[in-house]
Structure 1
């Protein structure tokens, strides 16, 4: 299968220049046509036989460039999905300029949490997708009623917090790697607080047993985590009501905070806090992509074989799966 991508830019309402522009990259399954447009401009048509395409919007970690997730976007597009990554340089926190997934801090505070989505980039991304649906190589080929939110670290947090039908009725599921919903004491929370998640949509949380970034950031939450994966585990156990067997927690043996990124980038973000991965990272990435892909196939596309395949994968004797649970 051929996978292609194209680029788009969008203005963010209520943001000030020069920090008011998001740059998107959209990955899609394609079908070579041999047309002059293809030959001269590199514009390759989508494989319309697979349409309509469900859409994954992926939120990067703070100061993690979207290219670090291109490998995952490629693998998900191979499953017949359209995947959107984006780059937004703005203020992560007041006075700190960087690459942000778009975090609305005012709705992370203890007195406002849950009243609005924390993913500040999402309204712009959804509006841009509507434009792409109207006028682009993917015109008329997107299923904008079935959008999946995913992300890494802080980007994963805003993805799972914003996947609520009362905020965005077109969002149908979410997933995150190395993300949790512990409340920072600076935002008014008591030590060790786990904030609740929307609990009506399918959710997949994935974490690594060697996540040094989470382990070494526990002071933000007024505690010392028992294990690097403790806040991720507690997010599903305490923050997600469950009861529909569509909430998953998968902990990967030997994976660290940046096992979802490739290639490794030591120049930005906080990889210096991380523990070394103790398992082959290419195998960890393959397992991450397979788990996410089967989760989407099962709980968004409702493919019967995917439910069985996901259960079989998680219940296998794979040494890379430290533990898993569903609720």
Structure 2
């Protein structure tokens, strides 16, 4: 028995030595705080979470700090800046950040508490209401969060920029000329409105879920006005056939049609210029307004207005990842096979696709 025990201990120690520096690919993240110079305290700070493909190791540094090196297989990494819906915590988009990071992307989510209208303090993607009036729309960015986030990404990528724990794990690994905007609901609207290359030439594409550019009459617009998306960049506009939040918001635009998809369809039909075959509208069958979040937080936002989904939520999320990944690979990473795969995904009798358009 003693010999068996000694043999067991020897083998265990040997196994520990062999696995001590074993590395596996995973997703890790770190936080940053940035200041918005145009905002007033206490609403002038944004908290970023930067998710990246990492190598999980049993090093001393990892054990002490949790800091993991990047998996540089797909570096330099394109960067997705994902903008949240109003009062939707960024944690519910972490599933999406993780999925995209495993495909060789860096994903930034953020939290900004702001008082954009007197008396209304919300978690917001950042909306400059002075930039969305009938006389100002199109003259300047509508999302004041974007430039501070882009500036912080430049610092993270700068090999000479020191953080409290040493050089950034992503120093020199970001492709800052391949920024992708993404967003949900109001964040999706911000993604669509700010993919303008005249403002942000480094932003190469945008995707949105449940975002549109129909303008509220409270801002002085005529009923049903669609604001144009001033871009020649690739766009992926996603939505759900059971979006109860958009349907319940028809009064904001003084619409008689309270269809869950009319705002998205009209945004694509009237607000998007075509001709390059890189602008997509895809409506998912049975998906609702919050199908891109997991887990859903019923305590904030407006999920009580939503309609039930008629497809398994896991299946809807898997489809979203497939579509977004093909879109980014095809139109940002310039992979022609991914563009073909995206078109096949939406044109092959896919039961999850209720409607698709391309122009």
TM-score above 0.5, yes or no: yes
> Of the candidates 47, 52, 56, which is equivalent to residue 28 of structure 1?
52
Q: CA deviation at 1:246?
A: 0.6
Tell me how far 1:95 sits from its aligned partner.
1.9
Partner Cα distance (2:57, 2:225) in 1: 55
Unaligned 5+ segments in structure 2 are 1-24, 162-167
Aligned residues: 327
Structure 1: unaligned runs, 5 residues or longer:
none
1:132 aligns with 2:156: yes
Equivalent positions of 1:3-14 (< 5 A) are 3-14=27-38
CA contact under 8 A between 1:91 and 1:100: conserved in structure 2? Answer: no
Partners of 2:197 and 2:231 within 8 A in 1:
no
Picking from 303, 327, 342, the partner of 1:310 is 342
Q: Which of 94, 103, 127 matches 2:118?
A: 94
Which digits, 9 at most, give the CA deviation of each residue in 1:162-200, with x for residues without a partner?
001100111000000001101111111111111100231
Among candidates 196, 209, 234, match of residue 241 of structure 2 = 209
TM-score between both structures, scaled by the size of structure 1: 0.98
CA contact (8 A) 1:68 1:261 kept: yes
Equivalent residue in structure 2 for 1:285, among 317, 320, 325? 317
Contact 1:92 1:99 in 2 (8 A): no
- Match in the other structure for 2:127: 103
Task: Name the CA distance, whole Å, in 1 between partners of 2:149 and 2:63.
Answer: 30
Aligned to 2:98: 74
Equivalents in 2 of 1:289, 1:51: separation in Å?
A: 20
Q: Give me the TM-score of the superposition, normalised by structure 2.
A: 0.89
User: Post-superposition shift, 1:153?
Assistant: 0.4
Deviation string, structure 1 residues 25-67 (Cα, Å, up to 9, x no partner): 0010112344321121110000123210000000000000000
2:49/2:110 contact within 8 Å kept: yes
Structure 1 residue 210: deviation in Å?
Answer: 0.6
Deviates more, 1:32-41 or 1:1-10: 32-41
CA distance in 2, matches of 1:95, 1:267: 19
1:232 aligns with 2:256: no
2:283 to 251, 260, 265: 251
Q: Structure 1 stretches (4+) deviating beyond 6 angstroms?
A: none
Residue correspondence of structure 1 range 137-156 to structure 2 within 5 A: 137-156=169-188
Alignment partner, residue 52 of structure 1: 76
Counterpart residue number, 2:352? 320
Q: Conserved in 1, the CA contact under 8 Å of 2:141 and 2:199?
A: yes
Alignment of 1:159-308 (within 5 A): 159-225=191-257, 227-308=259-340
Provide the secondary structure at the position in 1 that maps to 2:34: strand
- Structure 1 residue 9 displacement after superposition: 0.7
Q: CA deviation at 1:14?
A: 2.0
SS in 1 for 2:226: coil
Structure 2 vs 1, CA of residues 288 and 237 (structure 1 numbering), >3 Å: closer, same or farther?
Answer: same
